[in-house]
Amino acid sequence: MITQAHQGTTSSAITRLSVTAARLFDIPAHGYAHLLGVAPEHLDDDLCRTPAATGIRIAELTTVRVPWPELSLLLAEQSGIGTLGVWDYLITSAPTPLEGIRDAAAYLAVVADPGTDSLRITEDGEQIVISHVNEADPGYEPACAIRAFALGLYQRRLSAAAQRRLVPLRVTLAARAPRRHHPLIELYGTAHIEFEAPISSLTFRAVDLTAPTPHAQPGLSDVLRRHADQTLATAIPLHSWLDLFRTALASVHDETFPTLPMVARRLSVSPRTLQRRLDEHDTTWSNEVEAARRDHITRLLHGTELSIDAIAARSGYADARALRRAVQRWYGTTPAALRRTGRTDPTGPNGKPAPEHRRPVARPMT
């Protein structure tokens, strides 16, 4: 799995939940609409990963006006099966709920920030403890809401797997006791909630999580794990303005050969401003277009059976010879050989690293 590049980000699906909750609680959009990752072209794109700071800021704005238990409950209520994509089905489709939550723990990076959050499963005789570990201050209300929501989400997915509501024997929360507990009792189905605990956790009877999942399909978990790997490999973490620019450039390149005015329009800036921002990030339009073209051609070679002539035409090259020269410069090999081997480490002649400003950004195959 690829997690280092995803640190500091969460899936756009998580951000969509945060935005939905903010809207339902009538939080003014001007407080968060400008944040990185909230623009519709990123918020609605399942490949984009939003900065974790964006979600935290939205939660801050929400918990100023709404008690954090209410936010936790609403987030859980808005999280139907499929809301979080393949990660949901890892839990609900496994042979047992326990195997499903183990897969969910292994692939938590698909939805959460792998730098700050982890999911742990501990078997203790007749009980199984599912813990959500988050590094934020226990007294920080946005973090309290997120921890409580995470536990509620796990409970709901495990219940969906078992096809009956599983009520935990005990709930612990690394959070200060709120004034009103009712939303949390509604969320978990129990009043056995301990606050100010070292770790947030759910404790279930082992028999509830080890019973076979009704209608489980043999082999489906393997397919879903491969899908989760692909989701991580093709994700586009949005860490900075340069990430936004490269996402816009790639989207234009998938439609036509990009020009600076086209991309500037997509970013809602003038061409002059776009050039200035590229200078500020120590790169140039020509370098970025070259990298985007290389990524595009690599995807076509690996993900389609188009001829070299057809790929050259789609990529703005005069002919296949020009395309072959470019691939030789990038990778030190031919397009046909690159297609056969699937190798995408940019190298120069004789296998030496080729000089360039950045490596390819993994994106979905066309």
- Tokens coding 5: 């590049």
Phi-psi region of 304 (alpha: psi -120 to 50; beta: other; left: phi over 0): beta
Question: CB–CB of 118/133 below 8 Å?
Answer: yes
The DSSP element (H or E) to which 57 belongs, if any, is: helix 52-65
Give pLDDT tens digits for 178-203: 999 999 999 999 999 999 999 999 99
pLDDT value of residue 24 = 98
Q: Please tell me the distance from the alpha carbon of residue 116 to that of residue 8, in angstroms, as a whole number.
A: 8
First-residue to last-residue Cα distance in the chain? 22
pLDDT value of residue 347 = 46
Segment 322-347 shows an average pLDDT of 83
Chain position carrying tokens 């082999």: 219
Highest mean pLDDT range out of 232-236, 351-355, 358-362?
232-236
Q: Please tell me the distance from the alpha carbon of residue 134 to that of residue 200, in angstroms, as a whole number.
A: 8
Question: CB–CB of 107/1 below 8 Å?
Answer: yes
Q: Compare 317 and 229 and report the one with higher pLDDT.
A: 229
Q: Please tell me the distance from the alpha carbon of residue 47 to that of residue 364, in angstroms, as a whole number.
A: 8
pLDDT value of residue 317 = 87
Chain position carrying tokens 């509830």: 208
Q: Please tell me the distance from the alpha carbon of residue 242 to that of residue 34, in angstroms, as a whole number.
A: 16
Give pLDDT tens digits for 264-290: 888 778 899 999 999 988 999 999 999
Banded model confidence at residue 2, pLDDT cuts 50, 70, 90: low
pTM of this structure: 0.73
Residues in the chain: 366
Q: Compare 73 and 268 and report the one with higher pLDDT.
A: 73
CATH no. for 4-231: 3.90.1520
Using CA atoms of 158, 163, 169, 172 in order, give the dihedral in degrees to the nearest 10. 30
> Between helices 271-280 and 241-253, what is the axis angle to 10°?
130
DSSP 8-state code for residue 250: H
Chain position carrying tokens 């050989």: 337
Segment 115-143 shows an average pLDDT of 91
- Tokens coding 292: 């985007």
Task: Report how far Cα 366 is from the mean position of its chain's Cα atoms.
Answer: 20
> Between helices 271-280 and 285-303, what is the axis angle to 10°?
90
Q: Please tell me the distance from the alpha carbon of residue 272 to that of residue 171, in angstroms, as a whole number.
A: 56
Q: Please tell me the distance from the alpha carbon of residue 170 to that of residue 186, in angstroms, as a whole number.
A: 14
Q: Please tell me the distance from the alpha carbon of residue 310 to that of residue 291, in angstroms, as a whole number.
A: 19
Question: Which residue type, as a one-letter code, is found at position 124?
Answer: D
Segment 111-132 shows an average pLDDT of 95
Range in 27-41, 60-74, 83-97, 255-269 with the lowest mean pLDDT: 255-269
- Tokens coding 107: 């692939």
State whether residue 283 is helix, strand or coil. coil
Banded model confidence at residue 344, pLDDT cuts 50, 70, 90: low
- Tokens coding 169: 């024997």
Question: CB–CB of 316/252 below 8 Å?
Answer: no
- Tokens coding 245: 């620019």
Give pLDDT tens digits for 13-22: 999 999 999 9
Query: What are the start and end residues of each CATH 3.90.1520 domain in the chain?
Result: 4-231
State whether residue 144 is helix, strand or coil. helix
Q: Give the CATH H-level superfamily of domain 240-351.
A: Homeodomain-like (1.10.10.60)
Range in 92-106, 110-124, 252-266, 346-360 with the lowest mean pLDDT: 346-360
Query: What are the start and end residues of each CATH 1.10.10.60 domain in the chain?
Result: 240-351
pLDDT value of residue 244 = 79
- Write b or e for each residue in 208-225: b if 16 or more Cβ atoms lie within 10 A of its Cβ, otherwise e: bbeeebeebeeeebeebb
Give pLDDT tens digits for 21-51: 999 999 999 889 888 899 898 999 999 999 9
Q: Please tell me the distance from the alpha carbon of residue 349 to that of residue 221, in angstroms, as a whole number.
A: 42
Segment 69-82 shows an average pLDDT of 97
